[in-house]
């Protein structure tokens, strides 16, 4: 049976789309059953175009971040996901969410963590004069852009790079990396935090 994947997004959703297409090509034993966003964004329209259920849950209207996080947790849990993928979701996930999906929640981050955590990873790598950067998929824990690293890909930085050009080259690698990591996870080839024994 196909693994049930929920993707969390806030932006263009190109990684979500790459994952959907990989699932539809049967490159991995999974299906994106829902796309959940914290705002109106291009990715939600893209997901609707793929005929995938979309949910928009904005923090506005909730009395606290905790209350919004609990609602987000419940909404995502309703889809009974085997995997929850944060791919460009621009909110910090609080423990009430993270702890509900231990070993099932991964994040895609555009740097070679632990270098350049945070919301401006590509800009920060350029500003630091780094010669290379890349992308990381990691399990999410209760520290920002932290948690067991599953896989990384390196991307060289060119002398005349702009943030946009560099981020586009990083995304090209991410579009291949994310489906590959999801495949390995759904096939039980990655040891998950919180698992009692080796996943196999
Ligand atoms: C990706 O580069 C991801 O690493 C970062 O946000 C970007 C999302 O891009 N967290 P997209 O919305 O998938 O195009």
Interval 119-164: pLDDT, tens: 999 999 999 999 999 999 999 999 999 999 999 999 999 999 999 9
Residue-level pLDDT at 196: 62
Q: What residue's CA is closest to ligand 1, atom 6?
A: 88
Kindly indicate the confidence band of residue 195, based on its pLDDT and cuts at 50, 70 and 90: confident
Residue-level pLDDT at 199: 45
Who contacts 125 (Cβ-Cβ below 8 Å, separation ≥6)? 111, 115, 116, 133, 157, 166
Does residue 152 line the site of ligand 1, with CB under 6 A?
no
Rg (CA), the chain: 16
Topology given in CATH for the domain delimited by 3-186? Rossmann fold (3.40.50)
Kindly indicate the confidence band of residue 13, based on its pLDDT and cuts at 50, 70 and 90: very high
Kindly indicate the confidence band of residue 200, based on its pLDDT and cuts at 50, 70 and 90: very low
- The answer to pTM > 0.85 is yes
Domain boundaries, the chain: 3-186
Per-residue pLDDT averaged across 187-199, rounded? 79
The DSSP 8-state label assigned to residue 128 in this structure reads T
> Annotated active-site positions, please?
109
Atom of ligand 1 at shortest distance to CA of 10?
12
Residue-level pLDDT at 197: 52
Distance 82 CA to ligand 1 centre (A): 21
Does residue 14 line the site of ligand 1, with CB under 6 A?
yes
Q: What residue's CA is closest to ligand 1, atom 5?
A: 88
Dihedral angle sign, alpha carbons of residues 91, 92, 95, 101: positive
Tell me which residue of 79, 77, 106 sits closest to 184, measured CA to CA. 106
Residue-level pLDDT at 1: 80
Q: Report pLDDT digits (tens) over 17-73.
A: 999 999 999 999 999 999 999 999 999 999 999 999 999 999 999 999 999 999 999
Q: What residue's CA is closest to ligand 1, atom 10?
A: 88
Per-residue pLDDT averaged across 76-85, rounded? 98
């Amino acid at each position: 049976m196909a693994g049930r994947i929920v993707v969390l997004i806030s932006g263009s959703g190109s990684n979500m789309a790459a994952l959907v297409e990989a699932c539809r090509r049967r490159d991995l034993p999974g299906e994106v059953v829902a796309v959940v966003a914290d705002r109106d964004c291009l990715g939600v329209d893209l997901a609707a175009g793929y005929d995938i259920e979309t949910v928009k849950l904005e923090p506005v209207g909730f009395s606290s971040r905790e209350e919004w996080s609990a609602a987000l947790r419940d909404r995502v849990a309703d889809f009974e996901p085997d995997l929850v993928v944060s791919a460009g979701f621009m909110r910090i996930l609080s423990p009430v969410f993270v702890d509900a999906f231990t070993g099932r929640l991964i994040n895609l981050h555009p740097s070679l963590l632990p270098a350049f955590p945070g919301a401006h990873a590509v800009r920060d790598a350029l500003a630091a004069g780094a010669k290379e950067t890349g992308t990381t998929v990691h399990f999410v824990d209760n520290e920002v852009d932290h948690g067991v690293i599953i896989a990384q890909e390196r991307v060289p930085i060119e002398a005349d790079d702009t943030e946009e050009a560099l981020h586009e080259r990083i995304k090209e690698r991410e579009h291949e990396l994310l489906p590959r990591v999801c495949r390995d996870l759904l096939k039980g080839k990655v040891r998950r935090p919180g698992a009692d024994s080796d996943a196999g």
